[in-house]
Amino acid sequence: MLAINRIVSNTLDKYQKERLSFAQTIAELAQRETYVSTLQSHNVLPLLRPLLLDNVPAIQQAAALAIGRLANYSEELAEAVVDSDILPHLIFSLKNQNRFYKTAAAFVIRTVAKHSVKLANSVVESGALVSLVQCLEEFDPGVKESAAWALGYIAKHNEDLAKAVVDAGALPLLILCVQEPELSLRKISISALSDIAKHSSELAHNIVDTNALFFLAQLIHNSDPKLLRQVCSCLCQVAKHNITLAEEVVDREIFPRVLYCLKNNDIYVRKNAASLVCEISKHSVDLAQIIVNAGGISAIIDYIDSAKGTAKLPGIMTLGYISVFSNTLAFSVLLAKPIPILLKTLIDEKVTDESVLSACVWTLGQMGRHSPEHAKILTDHGVLQLLLKLLQSFPDDKEEFLDLKSKIKKTLKWIIENTLDLKSLEPLLSLDTPISILKPTVEQLTKIIPNDVTLRRDFVTSGSLKTLQEILQKYISKEVNNSSYYSKLAENIMLINKCYPEEIVKYYSPGYSEILLSRIDEFTQQTCSINS
């Protein structure tokens, strides 16, 4: 009898060990991309599903871990997990199983939900939110972290899913998690709050109403870079929606500490801090002034100079937003000497992203549009010539550059309309210059040339009057066919011509030298006939 019991016991032990070994092996193989497609082709999910209900906790955990890693690999495998009816088993078990299994089950839910709105909706419809929120009340920080991560991945997709997470009662518990001593739990909880806040002002207000800003503002003094990334990101997602929320963030006295983050060794801390400053600066003149008073302009310029690629974007936009509100703020930006940095970005061959180039152009326009004093600082750095060169470098038939070209034209027009320096405008007078730039340039010349004798002389000696006549001849024929478009240009050129004696204008007009030569021929013939 003892021998029989031993044989049966050994057989059952072997069966249990093999089940555990199978689940653990699949979990290990699922970590490697080279094995995943083969596991998928062998339809391994139906083999793992029964093990989720195994009476041995270690086998359950290994099976859940294997399923989670497979679902994490691709949307197709995540859909296979849903189609295999695995989610109900996981959610049911979340209420009763030990902390290790709860962590693994929440991991599966996260890997399924992360791929798409459809899969995240499947998770919500299966009733996962209630169980995940309950996991936030667990004593074990690992369970809380895994649940917070899953909730964040559900909320990130759209406003409806984020509202579902809020309605499930997740916010107060996530705020409590932010106050826990475990660094990773804090980081994941703040990330989940950020994923909720980003969708709408209503959701952001919900977070503010739970007193989250008090704890987030305290954590901005933390030295851990991964935590700082999430803190700056969350504050940014709250502040971006409207002036009230931005003021709520600023009232937590995040300045000047957030400016120190712009010099952090971690690139993502710097970028998220710059995004936070950018989102605050865009709402009102008062908020922009707070940034200026805290020394934000110099800090932002240093950030732009050190950042690479698209990371420059929030810093560049910040300078533009501050410059929008008033000529005083724009002058404060200009006095910090950002123009060389912005021009370096424009001509840098490594910067190919259109959004960065557009931001530079737009910001230069906001700086120069206020007054002649503002425009002069830009023109002294050769901004007009550089922008014209940049405009001409883009082919006309490329649709992807249309928005950038439109911004360049608008910025050129803003600066030209405030430029009183003849030498800055003259380089724009060329037969190759687009008509959209020639028109405001010539119109501006009509405002400054008639009032200054010295400028009228300089305009002639520099060869600009001659160029102007060539431009007139080029477009005079087109005026007949499209008078509404070209007549204003011709009219302004004639206004400038009236500032000079008629013989001077004729002398510099195209073809006048041939006329003089023909008169020499006529004079010679007449002389010869008289002598004969």
- 266-310 pLDDT tens trace: 999 999 999 999 999 999 999 999 999 999 999 999 999 999 989
16-210 topology per CATH: Leucine-rich Repeat Variant (1.25.10)
Distances (CA, A) of 18 to 12, 63, 108, 112: 10, 13, 23, 27
Given a cut of 90, whether residue 373 has pLDDT beyond it is yes
Q: List, for residues 124-181, the tens digit of each pLDDT value.
A: 998 889 989 998 988 889 999 999 999 999 999 999 999 999 999 999 999 999 999 9
Going from the C-alpha of 184 to that of each of 132, 179, 268, 372, 498, the distances in angstroms are 18, 12, 17, 54, 76
Give the least confident one: 42-56, 123-137, 159-173, 368-382: 42-56
Structure tokens at 483: 């008078």
Measure Cα distances from 148 to 67, 175, 186, 358 in Å: 19, 11, 10, 38
Q: 3-state class of 349 per DSSP?
A: coil
Say whether pLDDT at 105 is over 90.
no
Q: Find out whether 59 and 23 touch, Cβ atoms under 8 Å.
A: yes
pLDDT of residue 167: 93
pLDDT band of residue 512 (cuts 50, 70, 90) is: low
Percentage, residues of the chain above pLDDT 70: 90
Closest CA to 100 of 64, 48, 129: 64
Is pTM beyond 0.85? Reply is yes
Least confident of 138-152, 389-403, 505-519: 505-519
Residues in CB range of 437: below 8 A, 6 or more apart: 388, 391, 409, 412, 413, 416, 428
pLDDT at 190 over 90: yes
Is the pLDDT at 507 greater than 90, yes or no?
no
CA 154 – CA 165 distance, rounded (Å) = 8
* pLDDT for the residue 520: 57
Cα 524 to Cα 506: distance, rounded to the nearest angstrom: 23
Q: What is the DSSP letter of 482?
A: -
Residues 270, 227 contacting (CB under 8 angstroms): no
Which pLDDT band holds residue 14 (cuts at 50, 70, 90)?
confident
The mean pLDDT of the chain is 87
Which amino acid, residue 365?
Answer: G
Considering Cα of 249, then 254, then 259, then 263, what sign does the dihedral take?
A: negative
> Could you tell me the sign of the dihedral formed by the alpha carbons of 31, 32, 33, 39, in that order?
negative
Residue whose structure tokens are 């550089």: 386
Low-confidence winner among 179-193, 459-473, 507-521 (lowest mean pLDDT): 507-521
Residue with tokens 């200054």: 452
Q: Which residues of 460-486 are buried (b: 16+ CB within 10 A; e: fewer)?
A: beeebbbbbbebbeebeeebeeeeeeb
Residue 425's pLDDT band (cuts 50, 70, 90): very high
Q: Report the Cα 439 to chain-centroid distance in Å.
A: 34
Give the residue with greater pLDDT, 176 vs 33: 176
What is the model's pLDDT at position 508? 78
| pLDDT confidence of residue 57 | 81
Is residue 382 pLDDT above 70, yes or no? yes
Query: In this structure, is the dihedral angle defined by the CA atoms of residues 448, 453, 459 and 465, taken in order, positive or negative?
Result: positive
Q: pLDDT confidence of 83, banded at 50, 70, 90?
A: confident
Predicted local confidence at residue 474, as pLDDT: 78
Half-sphere exposure of 80 (CA within 13 A, CB side): 22
Residues of the chain with pLDDT > 90: what percent?
51
Q: Is the peptide bond prior to 181 cis by the omega test (within 30 degrees of 0)? A: no
The count of C-alpha atoms lying within 13 angstroms of the C-alpha of 277, restricted to the half-sphere facing its C-beta, is 38
Taking every pair of Cα atoms in the chain, the longest distance, rounded to a whole number of angstroms, is 154
Task: Report the pLDDT value the prediction gives residue 480, as an integer from 0 to 100.
Answer: 43
Show Cβ contacts of residue 385 under 8 Å, excluding neighbours closer than 6 positions: 427, 428
End-to-end, the C-alpha distance of the chain in Å comes to: 154
The pLDDT assigned to 288 comes to: 95
* Averaged pLDDT for residues 182-210: 94
User: In angstroms, what is the C-alpha Rg of the chain?
Assistant: 35
Q: Is 452 helix (H, G, I), strand (E, B) or coil?
A: coil
Determine contact, residues 78/122, Cβ cutoff 8 Å: no
Domain ranges of the chain: 16-210, 436-523
pLDDT in tens, 463-506: 888 888 888 887 765 544 555 556 788 888 888 888 888 888 88
Could you identify the residue written with the tokens 């579902």?
Answer: 164
In angstroms, rounded to a whole number, what is the distance separating the alpha carbons of residues 424 and 288?
31
pLDDT at 410: 94
Look up residue 427 and give its DSSP letter.
Answer: G
Confidence of residue 519 (pLDDT cuts 50, 70, 90): low
The sign of the torsion formed by the CA atoms of 453, 456, 460, 462 equals positive
What's the rounded mean pLDDT across residues 405-427? 92
pLDDT of residue 348: 78
pLDDT at 478: 53
| Contact status, residue 259 vs residue 295, Cβ threshold 8 Å | yes
Is there a contact between 479 and 486 (Cβ–Cβ < 8 Å)? yes
Strongest mean pLDDT among 18-27, 137-146, 235-244, 446-455: 235-244
- Provide CB contacts within 8 A for 33, sequence distance 6+: 73
